[in-house]
Each structure stands twice: as C-alpha cells, then as structure tokens.
Amino acid sequence: MPTAYFGRRYMLSASHRLHADSLSEEQNRVAYGKCNNPHGHGHNYVVEVMVGGEVDADTGMVLNMATLDEAVQTAVVQRFDHANLNFDPLFVNHVPTTENLTKAVFDVLKDALPAGRLECVRIEETENNFFEFRG
Amino acid sequence: MIELTRRATFSASHYYWNEAWSQHKNEEVFGRCARRNGHGHNYTLEVTVAGNADPVTGFVVDLKWLKEVIEHEVLADFDHRHLNLEVAEFAEQKLIPTTENIAIAAWKRLAPAVSKAGGARLSRVRVYETPEIFAEYRGEN
C-alpha cells in the first residue's frame, strides 16, 4: 500500500518567559528582549501534527483521527494548555522557546502514538513564526 | 531546484464505509463519517511541482497551464460531486474516499500530465478537508 501523510492542527494557550539561568540579567535582556519580561507572556499556539505510513487497506487511513486526537489531547493539550510552560518539568532546565517546545511535543507524542508513525510537529507561535521538528 | 505550489478548491460529499464490515464496525471505526447519507466539505487542493526555472521565461511551469491541468484532471470530476458515487477511483474501485485516498487519487491523475510538460515533476499533493485536517502524498519514491 502507498505511504501517505495525515496532518491535523490543534490549539493550546500557554504562557512562558524566555530566561536562561546560565546568562546574566543583562545578557538575558539582550538575548530575549521583551520575551524576557519577568512576569511572562502568552500565546495561542497552533500545534500541527503530521503522521505518516502505509494507508491501511481496510480503512483507507494512515491513522484513525480519533486515535490521533486522543494521543494529542492526553499527551499534549491537557499537559500544556492553559499552563505556564516554565513550570513544566520539561522546562526546569530548558528555556521554553518554541524550538524547545516543538521538540518536547515531538518527544512526548512519539511515545503516545503507534511506533514509527510520527512524521513532523510544527508549532506556530504567532501567525508569523513557526517551528518544525522531524525527529 | 524550485518548488512551486498552486492551490485550488472543490466542494464534494462523501461517506466512509467498508463493504466488508458490519454496520456496527463501520460506525465504531468511522463514527459520524459513516452516516450513509453522506456529508460534505470544501476541500483545498495544493499541488506542488519541482524543477528548475526556465532560463528564458523564469518559470518552473506556467501557472496558468498548471491551473488548467488541475481543473481538467481533478476538479472537472471532483467538484460538486459525491465522491463515493460519482468519482471512478471510489465508485468503481470501492476505495474509501478518506483524505489520504483523495490525495493519492489526485496525485495519480496529475503526475502523468505534469511529466508530459517536461522539465518539471510532481513533488507533492496536499488535500485539506477542513483548515485543520490535511493529507499529503509524495509518490512512491
């Protein structure tokens, strides 16, 4: 059967502050600008998840959307939606840039989905910037 | 090499049903998509071709030509149709018109016409069923 890809977009709203403990206050301000604001700020993130694999002969699907929804809701949305990313254990030692968030989402989803199916995670932080991770 | 993408839209109805399964199993696997009276979507088709820009025209392919190919090969048969009942791939081959299979069917219709133009090849077909759901096919290689 042919290999195809299936993608779906999800939304999550979260806050974060970009601040690296290894940098001085001044260095943080220079590196992160207004994203270093001590009280943090938030975004409506769009998380685009793409899975790939053989199209199942019985269902015509790469992966049932209900299975994908369940995995994304449980592993990603419930964890990060309406949360402060800096307080998530994943970001205790990592700055919650959207690069790092994209990789973190890829890693937790990879474990939540059937083996070998996750192809790409793309996160849009705003309408004008986005990040992709393909493992 | 440059990739060039053209978008087109079509509106069609469909349902998901595997003839080999019981009604119960169809409803269990496909949920609301298994309702036999069907439902519809405004689909967006994204066709990406790859090649080098022609030194004279600066085009990978002429976008007007690509628009006509998409209209002739895909939209003429898919737009304002019931995919299960009226489009050969699904009606005759009993293929379920999932977004994945629609992307594959569109690829198979477009690839020969794009190759015939010379200089470019079909690189990717992406079909959006809604703004949030899409399937993509890049051929067998």
pLDDT block averages, 10 residues each, chain B of length 141: 94 95 97 92 96 88 94 97 96 94 98 88 96 96 66
Helices (H) and strands (E) in chain A, counts: 4, 5
Q: Note whether ipTM > 0.90 here.
A: no
Is A59 in contact with B101 (Cβ distance < 8 A)? Answer: no
pLDDT at residue B46, rounded to an integer: 97
Is B96 in contact with A66 (Cβ distance < 8 A)? Answer: no
The Cα of A98 is separated from the nearest Cα of chain B by a number of Å equal to 20
Q: Cα B109–A51–B91 angle (5° rounding)?
A: 35
| Axis-axis angle for helices A98-112, A65-72 (nearest 10) | 120
Kind plus residue range of the DSSP H or E element containing B123? strand B120-130
**B20 near A CB under 8 A:** yes
d(CA A38, CA B36): 56
With bands split at pLDDT 50, 70 and 90, how would you rate the model's confidence at A2?
Answer: confident
Is B136 in contact with A50 (Cβ distance < 8 A)? Answer: yes
**A62 near B CB under 8 A:** yes
Burial label, B107 (beta-carbon count in 10 A; 0-12, 13-18, 19+): buried
Mean pLDDT for A2-26 is 94
